[in-house]
Chains A and B, each alone.
Chain A
Amino acid sequence: MGFGDLKSAAGLRVLNDFLADKSYIEGYVPSQADIAVFEAIAAPPPADLFHALRWYNHIKSYEKQKASLPGVKKALGKYGPADVEDTTGAATDSKDDDDIDLFGSDDEEESEEAKKLREERLAQYESKKSKKPAVVAKSSILLDVKPWDDETDMAKLEECVRSIQADGLVWGSSKLVPVGYGTKKLQIQCIVEDDEVGTDMLKERITAFEDYVQSMDVAAFNKI
């Protein structure tokens, strides 16, 4: 968020673009959000940035009422288009915030120290994060394997299916479900690791047993 550096031409251009289809920085009434951004601008925007200029002149007309406008003034980086990097930095905030002032009264030193501390903390967080074992994404798939007719040896069919081995594939329970005219289909459960095994691969290998398997479908697919 934020508009970048509002004292630069680039920042004003971001503001101008943002205001092209809005009357106010936030919502549909003038608020502290507008005042916050207004105070960050040094002078009226140039005439070619006419959306920004329109907004500027409008907010200027609220000068007398600015304390009574609704909302709470937030840091400049909290307003504006979501995809703009917040360049307002710690330096401007630290002047007001007593909590960061742990390392002395000199502003320059302080922001250096604060930066170092932040980097240290970031490094610590990263190392902690990498130590955590990665959680493997798994899914439970229920497959319907259909034979050619009721003469097909379902036990053999099941054997063939279970013979399919793959890294990350574990076969579960199975049962025979009648589909009509004496024919039964094999419903078998398996647990797969998403990265290792896919349903396409399973389908290929199961339907490879052409003597027994007419087709295979995924009856259910649940993420674990």
Chain B
Amino acid sequence: QVPVLQTNSGPGLTGLVTIAAHLVRRARKEQLLGSTAEEKAVVQQWLEYRVTRVNGGASKEDTRTILKELNMHLEDKVYLAGNIFTLADILMYYGLHHIMVDLTVQEKEQYLNVSRWFNHIQHYPGVRQHLSNVVFIKNRLYTNAH
């Protein structure tokens, strides 16, 4: 199912990222798309990743790969684009929610950086909306060296 946006001004728009980016610009929150050329590119990269790799119906194998890749990427970054909160974080959060909800405690610790990032994003004001709060326990149970 691909979302479609129908507005009074202009043609209808199709596609998750297209609509989201359009709404961001309309709301004058362009910083959510990145400020510098590099930042914008990184945001685009993760938006593309979100649409092509993270969609409902991914196999268990794919899910594990996605989590591993994100975990590696987030090792030295607070947000997907580095130091700024962007649309990439928002859409990735929504895309990953159904996966994170089903992870075991051990898996959440295995993908520690994704868990850290996810917990951070879900507390960002206005992001979580109606989605359930995924619980991450404070004291790590499986402390093996990363």
Contacts and interface: CB of A to CB of B under 8 A. Distances in A.
A28 B123 contact: yes
Given A21-B140, A61-B83, A53 B76 contact: yes
Contacts, number: 37
A58 to B, nearest CB: 4
B139 to A, nearest CB: 10
Contacts of B83: 57-58, 61
A50 B75 contact: yes
Contacts of B75: 50, 54
Interface residues on A, range: 10 to 19
Nearest to A62: B83
A23 B116 contact: yes
Interface string A19-48: 011111001100000000000000000000
A55 B77 CA distance: 8
Contacts of A50: 75-76
A21 B136 contact: yes
B76 A21 contact: no
Contact of A20 (B78, B116, B124): B116
B136 A54 contact: no
Interface in B67-124: 75-78, 83, 112, 115-117, 119-120, 123-124
Nearest to A54: B76
B116 A58 contact: no
A58 B123 contact: no
B53 to A, nearest CB: 23
B31 to A, nearest CB: 14
Interface of A: 20-24, 27-28, 50, 53-55, 57-58, 61
7 contacts: A21-B136, A21-B140, A22-B120, A50-B75, A54-B76, A58-B78, A61-B83
